[in-house]
Structure 1
Amino acid sequence: MFIRRLDPDSADLLRALHATQAVISFSPDGSVLSANQIFLDLMGYSLSEIVGQHHRLFLTDEDRSSPGYADFWTALGRGEIQRRQFRRMTKDGRIVWLRASYTPVLDAHGRVEKIIKFATDVTDTKMEHIDLLGKINAILRVQAVIEFNPDGTVITANENFLTALGYRLDEIVGQHHRIFMPAGQRESAEYRAFWQTLRQGQYQASQYRRIRRDGTDIWIQASYNPVFDLDGTLIKVVKFATDITGHVQLLHQLKEIIEVNFREIDEAIIHSNQLTQETGSAASATLENVQAVAAGTEQLVASIGEISASICQSQQASTLASETVQVADGSIHRLAEATQEMTGIVGAINGIAGQINLLALNATIESARAGDAGKGFAVVAGEVKTLATQAARATDLISRKIEGVQKVSAEVMTSLGSIRRSIETVRDQVVCTASAVEEQSAVTRDISSTMQTAARSVARVTENVVTISAAVAQAQSAFDRTRDAAAVLAH
């Protein structure tokens, strides 16, 4: 459609367009003739900067040298309208996108007199579209994508999907989705409900088992997404899928390993429970035994204390006996010395008695010579002789008694020496025994202290066994929850 010279109504329409859109006009060779303020503001130029300049002023270097740009002006020269979105560059180098129409204006002879461009800035919308398109392309590059009609028949699929399932596009277009399903699920009520839910506009997302063209299983993580038109009518279902077959196989292997490990752990926990119970019983019995030994040890300490006290008394008594024997020994020695002195005295008395007896004899002889005058003297001399004889016999008896006393004193001294040595031996033994008993007492006290500590330790062991038993029970509970979680994970 060509625009010829404008009538008044058309001029009014043109003025209205000038007020709402960016407008610029060019000569047939592409030189700028005029532009409205909206266009100038959009591109960042003043009118004087662009009048007479070629249209390429607004293009990027890439677009200027493209073959399509020459064809663009050739078509305008033939009077053909060019209408689409165009990429242009502002004075400061920014890229803008314009939805524009280049409309040739013909003169009376049908030749192109000028070209008027009407444009709207759609940069924001275009950038959003480019961003969305980039995201879609990114998805198409990494995911398997297939589109279905609401009845489940295939519309199209990308290369990733075809490669994953082993089909060509012409083999699946028009086919129903069930060709990808395991045979036992194709006619199931669950499968029919699956598509009924999609037709109601509800998306479906999960892990799915599907069948390749060669009959092997493929596991996918997929979402089925209903797509609606502007009226809210369902027009198709788009499926995005990722092949997770390797992951699922690993999970199945992991499940087998977990099951084996869980069986081993279960057996270990059962064994631990048994050991804990046995250990608890043994610890309780040990605690009783240790407490009994500790009580016995305390009694032993008390008994040894009594023995030690008795031995101390014996030691004191033996020391006192030894001292008494030493006093007696001294007395016996003094008695022996006194008897020795008495022996000398008795000897002296015997000597005197002998001399008296000799004098009496001499007196008797002299009285005989004297006759009657000496008879009285003779009687006295006889009496003296008799007394001397009696004194001699008495001293002899005393001498024998003294010898007996000396003999007994000697025996007593010998016996006392033996007693003293025996007492000293006993005292030494008592000292040794007291020392040994003291050492035993110290050792026994240590043993008693150790047994008390052991009793407390065994008591703590018993408490710890109870704690361990509770911990094993918690571990069993955690193990059961972990096994349930692992079962869920494996499915």
Structure 2
Amino acid sequence: MIADPDLNIIYMNQAVTALMAEAEAELKRELPRFSMATLLGSNIDVFHKTPDHQRRMLAALDKPHSATIRIGRRAFDLLVTPISQGDRRAGFVVEWEDAHHRLLNLDYAAQIAAIGRAQAVIEFGTDGTIVTANDNFLTTMGYGLEEIRGKHHQIFVEPGYARSADYAAFWEALRSGKPMSAQYKRISKTGRPIWIDGSYNPILDHNGRVTKVVKFATDISAQIELLGNLRDNIVEVDREVGRSNTESVAARQAVGTATANVSSVAQNAEQLAESIRVISGNMVASQTATDAVFQQAARVATETEGLAGATQAMSGIVALIRSIASQINLLSLNATIEAARAGEAGKGFSVVASEVKNLAVQAAQATEQITKEIDSLQSRSASVAQAVISIREQATTVRDQVTHAAEAVQEQASVTQGMSGSAQNAADAVSAVLGSVTEMEAAVGSVSTAMRKTMEAAQALAR
């Protein structure tokens, strides 16, 4: 494109015309004044939203100037060359080029450079010979570039694998254009195994033919070693979890048995408490009856003492009767003597005196019999009193023992009731423990499942 000194477009070749026509729709969205129909003969101001800036720059331009401009999604590389005739500015030549591919290639080159800084990169011919490698790859494998250039990729694999059909198929797939990506075991210069996360990428030309293979790789040897250790640890943990699972099952069974036993103890303790409550009631009743016996024995003792007093009083009456009988007998004797003195006149009185004497004798005999009975009664009263005293003492002892026993039974009832409550609490606690052990068993099962999944994941990662 050629513009005159006033920046009017006076010429466009076929290439720039085709380029402008292809981009016209996008250019018009950003530059409303742009039109291919009127472009030739128009001013280059149609390409700028702020023409004054561009005019000042071009007025000062004394040598070729390159720039990249963006209009919408389009990018153009421009080379503006001033044309002079002697000291006079004759115009400008503007060379246009679509910058899309150049910028895209720059982006690709920047990405590849970034990948090269972060990863190990090596290039192979289609036959597997080494073309070049970056520093990351050489450092990882322990080689210098000249040590490996021109040699086959098989120097990095184990001899047995290099001779295998799998290895031949691997390169055949790459030559067919199929990318290969996986974790690979490779051998360093010193023979040390190195694990890489590698991607083999066939590079195609414009005809779709594979021209070379580029591999991008990351050394994951440390991760593989860690995963191997993790796998071993998981196996050990899984083994311990298995033991824990077995022990938790046994614990659950043991706690189940303990729950049944403690529940049985709680029931038996409740029954024992009920029995002791009944015994306690009976002891209270016995204590009441014993108190009644003691009180009755006390009353009997009192009555016995009264009986003894009465027998003592009867002894005095008997003595009085005996004295009266003696006097009557003496009186009858005197009457008999006086009747004898009176002769016939005293015969009737003598009969009376004889009867009185008989009465006195009978009274004396009765008195003797009463005395014997009273003596026997006194003896029996004394025995009864002694027995009553013994009964009262024994009743006192029994009452004391029954009282102590009742108190002990009541205390035992209280303790047994507490024991029953404690046993019930223990049963509840053991039931709670059973629930906890069941939950623990479930948790151990979950841990075991999680460990198996982790093991599977570790094995997958380790592959």
TM-score, reference length from structure 2: 0.74
In structure 2, which of residues 365, 380, 393 is the aligned counterpart of residue 421 of structure 1? 393
1:65-464 equivalences under 5 Å are: 73=63, 86-87=66-67, 98-100=77-79, 102=81, 114=90, 116-120=92-96, 130-170=106-146, 172-213=148-189, 215-242=191-218, 244=219, 247-252=220-225, 254-256=227-229, 258-259=231-232, 261-262=233-234, 264-276=236-248, 278-279=250-251, 282-283=254-255, 286=258, 289-290=261-262, 293=265, 296-297=268-269, 300-301=272-273, 303-305=275-277, 307-455=279-427, 458=430
- Alpha-carbon distance between aligned partners in 2 of 1:383 and 1:113, rounded to the nearest angstrom: 208
**Paired amino acid for 2:312:** Q
Instruction: Quickly say closer, same or farther: Cα 1:237–1:104, change in 2 above 3 A.
Output: farther
1:27-42 equivalences under 5 Å are: 37-38=43-44, 41-42=47-48
Deviation at 1:170, TM superposition (A): 5.0
Deviation at 1:418, TM superposition (A): 0.9
Q: Is the 8 A contact 1:280 1:465 kept in 2?
A: yes
Q: Is the 8 A contact 1:97 1:126 kept in 2?
A: no
- Alpha-carbon distance between aligned partners in 1 of 2:156 and 2:227, rounded to the nearest angstrom: 27
- Count of aligned pairs between the two proteins: 432
Q: Is the 8 A contact 1:178 1:186 kept in 2?
A: yes
- Alpha-carbon distance between aligned partners in 2 of 1:19 and 1:228, rounded to the nearest angstrom: 30
- Alpha-carbon distance between aligned partners in 2 of 1:241 and 1:227, rounded to the nearest angstrom: 16
TM-score, reference length from structure 1: 0.70
Structure with more relative contact order (C-alpha pairs < 8 Å, separation 6 or more)? 2
Instruction: Quickly say closer, same or farther: Cα 1:320–1:362, change in 2 above 3 A.
Output: same
**CA deviation digits over 1:408-465, x for unaligned, max 9?**
2122112111111112211221222222223333333444444455455556656665
Q: Is the 8 A contact 2:123 2:130 kept in 1?
A: yes
- Alpha-carbon distance between aligned partners in 2 of 1:475 and 1:265, rounded to the nearest angstrom: 10
Q: Which runs of 5+ in 2 are unaligned?
A: 3-8, 21-40
SS of match in other structure, 2:177: coil
CA RMSD of aligned residues (A): 4.4
SS of match in other structure, 1:222: strand
Q: Is the 8 A contact 2:121 2:216 kept in 1?
A: yes
- Alpha-carbon distance between aligned partners in 2 of 1:279 and 1:122, rounded to the nearest angstrom: 80
> For structure 1, which segment, 458-467 or 157-166, has the greater mean C-alpha deviation from structure 2 after superposition?
458-467
- Alpha-carbon distance between aligned partners in 2 of 1:264 and 1:230, rounded to the nearest angstrom: 56
- Alpha-carbon distance between aligned partners in 2 of 1:353 and 1:304, rounded to the nearest angstrom: 70
- Alpha-carbon distance between aligned partners in 1 of 2:379 and 2:126, rounded to the nearest angstrom: 149
Q: Is the 8 A contact 2:340 2:350 kept in 1?
A: yes
Query: Could you tell me the percent identity over the aligned residues?
Result: 39
Q: Which runs of 5+ in 1 are unaligned?
A: 4-9, 22-34, 57-72, 74-81, 91-95
SS of match in other structure, 2:457: helix
Q: Is the 8 A contact 2:66 2:80 kept in 1?
A: no
- Alpha-carbon distance between aligned partners in 2 of 1:197 and 1:164, rounded to the nearest angstrom: 26
Instruction: Quickly say closer, same or farther: Cα 1:453–1:19, change in 2 above 3 A.
Output: closer
Q: Is the 8 A contact 2:69 2:78 kept in 1?
A: no
Q: Is the 8 A contact 1:294 1:448 kept in 2?
A: yes
SS of match in other structure, 1:416: helix
- Alpha-carbon distance between aligned partners in 2 of 1:16 and 1:377, rounded to the nearest angstrom: 205
In structure 1, what is the equivalent of residue 60 of structure 2? Answer: 54
**CA deviation digits over 1:189-237, x for unaligned, max 9?**
3233223323333322223333445554443333222333444444433
SS of match in other structure, 2:184: strand
Q: Is the 8 A contact 1:43 1:89 kept in 2?
A: no
Instruction: Quickly say closer, same or farther: Cα 1:442–1:124, change in 2 above 3 A.
Output: same
**Paired amino acid for 1:87:** A
Q: Is the 8 A contact 1:205 1:224 kept in 2?
A: yes
> For structure 1, which segment, 157-166 or 464-473, has the greater mean C-alpha deviation from structure 2 after superposition?
464-473
Deviation at 1:248, TM superposition (A): 1.5
**Paired amino acid for 1:100:** L
Instruction: Quickly say closer, same or farther: Cα 1:256–1:363, change in 2 above 3 A.
Output: same
Instruction: Quickly say closer, same or farther: Cα 1:140–1:312, change in 2 above 3 A.
Output: closer
- Alpha-carbon distance between aligned partners in 2 of 1:303 and 1:155, rounded to the nearest angstrom: 101
SS of match in other structure, 2:48: helix
**CA deviation digits over 1:85-130, x for unaligned, max 9?**
823899xxxxx974326385779xxx99856321438677766555
Instruction: Quickly say closer, same or farther: Cα 1:248–1:410, change in 2 above 3 A.
Output: same
- Alpha-carbon distance between aligned partners in 1 of 2:54 and 2:217, rounded to the nearest angstrom: 57
